[in-house]
Amino acid sequence: MKALSQKRRHPLAAIALLLMGLLLTGGLYAVATTVNEAKASTTSFSANDTEEGEKLFAANCATCHGMGAGGTQDGPSLVGVGAAAVDFQVGTGRMPMQMNGPQAYKKPAQFNDEQTHQLSAYVASLGPGPSIPEEHLLDAQGNAAEGGELFRVNCAMCHNAAAAGGALTRGKFAPALADVSEKHIYEAMVTGPQNMPVFSDANVTPEGKRDIITFLKQIEANGSPGGADLGALGPVSEGLFVWIAGLGVIIAFTIWLTSRTS
Amino acid sequence: MSAHTTANAPAFVAKTKGGRITDFVDQRVGGSGILREFGRKVFPDHWSFMFGEVALYSFVILLLSGTFLTFFFDPSMAETHYDGSYTPLKNVEMSVAYSSSLDISFDVRGGLFMRQVHHWAALLFVASVSVHMLRVFFTGAFRKPRELNWVVGGVLLILSMAAGFTGYSLPDDLLSGNGLRIIDGVIKSIPVIGTYTSFFLFGGEFPGTVIISRLYMLHILLVPALILLMIVIHLFMVVVHKHTQYPGPGRNDGNVVGYPLGPVYAAKAGGFFFIVFGVVALMAAFFTINPIWNYGPYDPSPVSAGTQPDWYIGWVDGALRLMPGVIGDFHFEYVIFGQVLTLNVLLPALVPAGIVFTVLFMYPWIERWITKDDREHHVLDRPRNAPTRTAIGMAGFTFYCVMWAAASSDLIATHFHVSLNDVTYWLRALFFIGPIIAFVVTKRVALALQRKDREIALHGRETGRIVRLPHGEFIEVHAPLDDYKRYKLVGFESPVPLPAVPNEHGIVTRKEKRRAALSRWFFEDRVAPASPAELEAAHGHHGQHEAVESAEAQKTLSH
């Protein structure tokens, strides 16, 4: 205590105090952000993952996204997009992109799970961003009715009320959501891939996202109670069906009825 | 006096008990007289004559299935929480109407099947009415004396659309609510009276709490009653006019060649009802229609992608989709004396439909005026033998179809991987150009088919058999047609343009000149049917092609 009181007049004391203050504020902010990000980094990445991911990135992604993922004219910067974005884009085969166009198409994944994990590790290391969601949010055991309401209010205008997909302007589109894994649905909501807006945790809570996934998985599992769903596209496919199949069969019968046997 | 005659006449006594009961009823109802009259009614047999029947049977199916649905449907818009067996909607707040529709689908035995029967039958009803009208138009069956029946048919088409739309809106799900919202917007765009009408209809601001029960009354009471009335008038006129027939040997405007109603035709028609019912039942059993559980309860805030009306309203929706909001700096919204005039809703919603229905209702009189044809027509035209009429019909059909396609512009974009904007631009262009292209192409196709008919009538069918004659010449053998087949190819009228004629004061009026110009436009491109002399020439000088061809060149007046 004596030493401290003696040195408090030291010329460097003010600087030391300032440093301590900064450290404290920064530390508190860091803690606060981690709390806000909730279950930010649940998937742990090893240094090796990051290293391997960087190599993969340089070989496969840097052409468009630039060395160091800083972005070029052909592709955006990936600093801060988080592991979830990489896991979604690479995991669903959208990246690497097949061709330049209004939107990246879903296709068979070009990287295996391990490589996707490594790429995620690398991009996550560039700056903080949404991480891969925790298992308990993906169990599809939430409230389907609540999820349905959230889906109709937030998602149906692009993805269709039955999640059959829909058109956006100039060749862009919202894809159908059948056969999309729980993890990818969640990641899409938090990262807003392609033309999709981001649904942050403040907008739709993690529980709400879990409910939406529950709703989607339940209507997928329920199938179509009324028979073949004709693509769940609504009145257009129904109209097409009645004109072609319905009227077609009836015309066949009218021809049969009016044909003479001789 | 009558007592004497009955006493003297040997009273007929039936031998069996059944016969006595039948006789008792017949003496009081006069059934045998009715049967004698109607049972001998002759109907020509052709598959294209049966669409009206399909429409009638669909309507009967609609009445039957609709009655079942009324037992369980509750049109109230009171709020409730769903408590049925479909878990994705458990405890969701909704209207009683939607809740009872869901109950019909999931908790009433056979309810979903009946709902689907009703909805498929509705789509088939309007479709068969439309195809029936197309058949009547393209064969010229609307000509005298059937002009008024054509109008009744047009009214039936509008009524069937009204029945469909009011029914579509009843479940109060998101899809139907979106449809009602569009109708509300269209009503509100009508100048001056629009907003008042909307408030009157919805009992206040949209959506209100009364619209479903009002639509329900229209749907189950007024509209079907009007349809039934129109069907009665329609069929009564069919009986009065007798049925039309396609041209053929022995058929003319004074007779009807076909089967009598009883017994064969009645049996066929009765059986056909069950076929139509069977087809509808199969569709209902195996294919979902209007999965209302997917759409959720109506709430004015969400609008689902892929929101379309049922097919028969699609063309109006398509016209709305095609209308640009602004063209460059030109906009379509004006404020006049504090009233907003929204032309970008008003024009597409009312003008194309107005054009289509005005031309549809007026057409028999338009053609009658141009052709000055006041004769009765009971023998139909083959579409190719009335090229201009067929071309007009196809132009109208194309106009309709462009708007129809526009109603599914979003699905065209996603399913063919093209830009939604490009689809819209193309359809906007086709809206104007499409009917013109269709007119020109159809007319040329019809004329070409007529020339082909003429060729076959004169020279017979090409057999593909090449024969070498003793002196070395190769000829292709043409098989001559039998008389029945040839009659079909030559037995039609081919009117020539009617020049303008002066009226009783010796003046050629401007109106008459316009009529003459239209007549020229109608009939100047024509292929005359092969005349008996030409046929004689063709068959007399067998093998001498030159003579035939020169005769043909003289008779064919083209361009």
Chain A contact for B291, CB < 8 A? yes
Contacts of B57 (CB under 8 A, 6+ apart): B272, B273, B276, B277
pLDDT (0 to 100) of residue B433: 97
Q: Which helix (H) or strand (E) holds B334?
A: strand B333-336
**Angle A55-A59-A65 from CA coordinates, rounded to 5°:** 100
Tell whether A250 is within 8 A of chain B (Cβ): yes
Nearest Cβ partner for A235 among B90, B311, B419 = B311
What pLDDT is recorded for position B485? 85
pLDDT tens digits, B39-62: 788 888 889 999 999 999 999 999
pTM: 0.86
Residue A176's φ and ψ, nearest 5 degrees, are -70, 150
Cα B46 from Cα B57, distance rounded (Å): 18
Contact B371/B140 with Cβ under 8 angstroms?
no
Check CB contact under 8 Å for B411 and A167: yes
Q: Return the SS3 of B303.
A: coil
Average pLDDT rounded to a whole number, residues B204-227: 94
With an 8 Å Cβ cutoff, is B381 touching chain A?
no
When mean pLDDT is compared across A30-39, B163-172, B429-438, the lowest value belongs to A30-39
Alpha-carbon span B401 to B266, nearest angstrom: 36
pLDDT tens per residue, range B364-408? 999 999 998 889 999 999 999 999 999 999 999 999 999 999 999
Of B304, B315, B404, B410, which to mutate for an interface test with A (greatest number of A Cβ within 10 Å)? B304
Closest-CA distance of chain B to residue A231, Å: 10
Q: How far is A209 from chain B (nearest CA, A)?
A: 15
Q: Say if the Cβ atoms of A239 and B314 lie within 8 Å.
A: yes
Considering only alpha carbons, which residue of chain B is nearest residue A243? B127
Token pair of B369, please? 């005026």
Q: Are strands B42-43 and B259-260 parallel, antiparallel or unpaired?
A: antiparallel
Q: Which of B288, B407, B408 comes nearest A230 by C-beta?
A: B288
**Does B419 touch chain A if contact means CB atoms closer than 8 Å?**
yes
Taking 60 as the threshold, does the pLDDT of residue A130 lie above it? yes
Residue of B nearest to A162 (CA): B294
pLDDT digits (tens, 9 = 90+) for A191-231: 999 889 999 888 899 999 999 999 999 988 888 888 888 88
User: Does B294 contact A170 at a Cβ distance shorter than 8 Å?
Assistant: no
Coil, strand or helix at B466: strand
d(CA B221, CA B219): 6
CB contact B278 to A (< 8 Å):
no
Write out residues 149-208 of A within 8 Å (CB-CB) of B.
149, 152-153, 156-162, 164-171, 173-174
pLDDT band at B10 (very low <50, low <70, confident <90, very high): low
**Cβ–Cβ of A236/B91 closer than 8 Å?**
no
Tens-place pLDDT, residues B453-464: 999 988 888 888
Nearest by CB to B174, which of A152, A222, A233? A152
Answer whether B120 sits within 8 Å of A162, measured CB to CB. Answer: no
Among B203, B207, B202, B217, smallest CA distance to B176 is for: B207
The dihedral of CA A117, A123, A127, A130: what is its sign? negative
3-state secondary structure of A72: coil
Residue A228: strand pairing partners: B287
What's the pLDDT score for residue B186?
93
Q: Place B331 in a pLDDT band, splitting at 50, 70 and 90.
A: confident
CB contacts under 8 A, B 388-417 vs A, are 407-411, 413-414, 417
| pLDDT on residue B541 | 53
Contact indicator for A143, A214 with CB cutoff of 8 Å: yes
Given CB atoms, is B105 within the 8 Å cutoff of chain A? yes
Model pLDDT, residue A35: 52
- Verify whether the Cβ–Cβ distance B420 to A171 is below 8 Å: yes
| Mean of the per-residue pLDDT values of chain A | 86
Residue A216 has what pLDDT?
Answer: 93
CA–CA dist A207, A212 (Å, integer)? 9
Report the pLDDT value the prediction gives residue B540, as an integer from 0 to 100. 62
**Contact B301/B174 with Cβ under 8 angstroms?**
no
- Poorest-pLDDT segment among A32-46, B235-249, B309-323, B451-465: A32-46
The C-alpha of A37 sits at a distance from chain B's nearest C-alpha, in angstroms, of 29
**Which range among A31-45, A54-68, B386-400, B430-444 shows the weakest confidence by mean pLDDT?**
A31-45
* Mean local confidence (pLDDT), B8-16: 75
Q: At residue B557, does pLDDT exceed 70?
A: no
CB contact under 8 A, A227 and B296: no
Residue B323: what pLDDT? 93
Q: What is the pLDDT of residues B244-282, one digit of tens each?
A: 988 888 888 888 888 888 788 888 889 999 999 999 999
Q: Within B44-189, where are the H helices? A: 51-70, 96-106, 111-138, 147-168, 174-189
Biggest alpha carbon–alpha carbon distance for chain B: 96
pLDDT (0 to 100) of residue B429: 96
Burial-class residue B356 by CB neighbours within 10 Å (0-12, 13-18, 19+).
middle
Omega prior to B249 cis, within 30 of 0: no
DSSP assignment letter at B265: I
- Which of B411, B418, B424, B426 to probe by mutation at the A interface, max A CB count within 10 Å? B411
* Helix axes of A247-258 and B111-138: crossing angle, nearest 10 degrees: 60
| Residue B559 confidence (pLDDT) | 41
Identity of the highest mean pLDDT range in A131-145, A161-175, B136-150: B136-150
From A128's Cα to the closest Cα of chain B, the distance in A is 34
* DSSP code for A69: G
- Shortest distance, CA A157 to any CA of chain B (angstroms): 4
What is the three-state SS of B224-264?
Answer: HHHHHHHHHHHHHHHHHHCCCECCCCCCCCCCCCCEEHHHH
Q: How far is A98 from chain B (nearest CA, A)?
A: 15
* Lowest-confidence segment of A52-66, B27-41, B314-328, B425-439 by average pLDDT: B27-41
Per the DSSP assignment, residues forming a β-bridge with A173 are A167
pLDDT of B476 reads 87
Closest residue by Cα to residue B173 from B62, B292, B261: B292
**Confidence category of residue B547, pLDDT binned at 50, 70, 90:** very low
CA dist B293 → A176, B181, B411, B492 (Å): 18, 20, 21, 56
Mean pLDDT for all residues in chain B: 89
Task: Report how far residue A213's alpha carbon sits from residue A151's, in angstroms, rounded to the nearest whole number.
Answer: 9
Return the minimum-mean-pLDDT range out of A3-17, A31-45, A52-66, B222-236: A31-45
Tell me the C-alpha to C-alpha distance, in Å, between residue B35 and each of B30, B39, B100: 9, 5, 45
Contact A218 B87 (CB under 8 A): yes
**Would you tell me which residues 58-97 of chain B have a C-beta closer than 8 angstroms to some C-beta of chain A?**
87-92
The answer to whether A242 contacts B106, with C-beta atoms less than 8 Å apart, is no
Å between B2 CA and nearest CA of chain A: 49
Residue contact B291–A224, C-beta within 8 A: yes
> Is pLDDT at B5 greater than 60 in this prediction?
no
Contacts of B120 in chain A (CB under 8 A): 242, 246
| Angstrom distance (rounded) from CA B411 to CA B318 | 12
Looking at chain B, the whole-number percentage of residues with pLDDT higher than 70 is 95
Mutate to test the interface with B, among A250, A253, A262 (most CBs of B within 10 A): A250
- Look up residue A244 and give its DSSP letter: I
Strand, coil or helix: what is A58?
Answer: helix
Does residue B131 belong to the interface with chain A, where contact is any CB pair within 8 Å?
A: yes
